[in-house]
Amino acid sequence: MLKGIDPLLGPDLLHVLAMMGHGDEIVIVDANFPAASVGEQTVYGSALSIGCDALQALSAITSLLPLDEFEPDPVLTMQVVGEPQTVPPVIAESMPTLDALGHKPVGLERFAFYERAKEAFAVVQSSEMRPYGNFILRKGVIFA
């Protein structure tokens, strides 16, 4: 246990967050996402796990990870299949957290999301049971 760090962020996830550089992406996924197979293709090489829902994971990770301010769309989500304009409940519930960070999510088609996730630094599987609880976060710069 460390002071000032969300206890949901275990040692492996803290290590990944510390290794990431500006522009690297981390993916928070729900329990339905193929995290093991996608995680094998990431820079880190395997999926990580966090024992909470996607919103708690988003809050914990963004408590340490700055989002990119230099490029557009540092937060991506998965669109509902066949209904790209529909905002899933889990994404709607994330809006206050993302608004506080100054960002709005942009949806990606399901298979485009999978491909983008494979290029990420790491995948973190949450215990989120609601579908479409998936986020790609692009790391920004920490100014001294």
Residue 22 annotated among the catalytic residues of the structure: yes
The two three-digit tokens of residue 106, written as one number: 């942009």
Please state, in angstroms and rounded to a whole number, the distance separating the CA atoms of residues 26 and 134.
Answer: 11
Helix ranges (DSSP H) in the chain: 11-19, 35-39, 54-62, 89-100, 110-118
Nearest C-alpha neighbor of 122 from the set 33, 34, 16, 11: 16
| Candidates 22, 53, 73, 103; catalytic one | 22
Catalytic option among 24, 68, 103, 132: 68
Of the candidates 30, 44, 53, 114, the residue annotated as catalytic is 114
- Residue 133 buriedness (CB in 10 A; 0-12 / 13-18 / 19+): buried
- Residues known to be catalytic: 22, 68, 114
